[in-house]
Amino acid sequence: MSHGPLPIARPIVQPKESPLTQFAAVTFAETDLDSIADATGRVAVVVSPDGKLGPSARRVNKLTRGALKRLVESEGFAKAEGSVITLNWPAGLVAEALEIIVLARRATAEDVRSAGAALGKSHDTRDLLLLGGNLVPLPELIEAAVLRAYDYTDHKTEETKPLGAITVQSNDAEATKAAAADLLAVAQGVFFTRDLVNAPANDLTTSSFADRLSEMSALGLKVEVLEEDELQRLGMGALLSVGQGSASPTKVVVMQWNGGGDEAPLALVGKGVVFDTGGISLKPAGGMEDMTMDMGGAGTVAGAMRAIALRKARANVVGLVGLVENMPDGLAMRPGDVVTSMKGDTIEVTNTDAEGRLVLCDVMWYAQDRFKPAGMIDLATLTGAIIIGLGHHNAGVFSTDDALCNALINAATDVGEGAWRMPLGKAYAKQLKSRVADVNNVGGRPAGSITAAEFLRRFVKDETPWCHIDIAGVASVKAETTFAPSGGTGWGVRALDRLVRERFEPKG
């Protein structure tokens, strides 16, 4: 509901131009043993856990006068699988450091992730020569290293020097390059999501967020921005009610990738609350600064759409995000207000801090009405309750369709992103009963993440396979993860991309 001119002029800080965080340049070359001695920066070599040395490792051992062989024969070396051991200023090499990557030729995915992340964590402005040899999961090792070598510096005044280049030598450079291409495209999507989640709210306003998404039209996405007057015409009263108290206009951005045939698209829907004070149901001051990440669902959808476009996925996917700011104000939605959704259901707003579901329900209904999707997945930093249940290790997944849900969880597991299925049920839905409206927006403290999912389920059509992912515990974290430093993780971009690849693209 458009509220017209504001009674008091409130300037919005002009967002700064925020270029995308770039990861290290990666190039591929055939194995060249003669290049090792004079390589600068760092040299990384793969060694089997049983101490066997391949051709590159044998050359390194010769250059370092047997230092590598002495290391692999030392006590405890066999227990180091998946780790990276650093020898600084190695004799016989120009490089400042020699990184020994301990991996079997067909190492497990977990070990590859651990080793790649360790390599990426220590990556700095120095160049890196990675001697991959015939390591089978070499592309995944590169991906992990690139993902972990991330640092958000947009608002630091000290000049940031670019990361050193990574040169990957392997026994089949063209095959390695081809296998790594899609992984590196998806990594760009992850970085985009992290940048969005890490951005402060006076930078990432609803308008600047929409602008950044519109720029992705250059990648082949069809991008539309629906403004408040159009949202009013469509009847999105639940979504619009959330932004009544903010000077930032509410928007919905639609991103379409048409890489398939005539089949119905997969719809990805994201909650994009660029800052959440809780509204009139004001949050405590302690920790409120973290609510810049309450647009994490929209950030994940944006990153996934970027990844899908960059690797030119052979599927039809549409991403829709509701962008809004939840502020307390004389015009803000109040506890006890009744709002009307696009579906037509009336909603009693008992708590204005349960605003994410009001954003999602209208965008989800619009997605189904317009696109008739083959499946719909929404993502949101929706409830603190999911953190109590699952901590910061797993996102909570709720679903009405076993096939879609299992495929999603399998995709997340394949890429090392934690996801755990949670229950739904009529008993939980009964907690949302309202005395004055069709439904209440909250169901009390018990099972808070489940009742939130049940609220959203009300806005899912019977014919639509649906998953809801509560990413409140995994979108932004205080401690580093395998793939990321503290802050925005980019969780979900890789899982969604893998789901699209495995379930919605033709095989072969």
Nearest to 126 by CA among 33, 24, 34, 19: 24
Calpha distance 116→183 (Å, rounded): 13
Q: Assign 85 to helix, strand or coil.
A: strand
Question: What is the spatial order of strands in the sheet that 42-47 belongs to?
Answer: 26-30, 166-170, 128-133, 42-47, 97-102, 84-88
Catalytic residue among 58, 105, 283, 457: 283
58 catalytically annotated: no
What are the helix (H) ranges across 283-395? 296-310, 356-371, 385-390
Is residue 248 within 8 Å of 325, Cβ to Cβ? yes
**Can you tell me the distance from the alpha carbon of 373 to that of 325, in angstroms, rounded to the nearest whole number?**
28
> Contact at 8 Å (CB) between 239 and 322?
yes
> How is residue 199 annotated by DSSP?
S
Backbone angles phi, psi at 315, to 5 degrees: -150, 160
Run of H or E including 186: helix 173-198
SS3 at position 197: helix
> Contact 174/133 with Cβ under 8 angstroms?
no
Instruction: Judge contact between 15 and 246, C-beta under 8 A.
Output: no
Residue 357 among the catalytic residues:
yes
Asked if residues 74 and 49 have their Cβ atoms less than 8 Å apart, the reply is no
467 forms bridges with which residues in the sheet? Answer: 377, 399
Annotated catalytic residue within 357, 458, 494, 501: 357
Question: Which residues, including other chains, have CB under 8 Å from residue 298's CB and lie 6 or more apart?
Answer: 196, 209, 270, 271, 272, 321, 322, 323
Active site residues: 283, 357
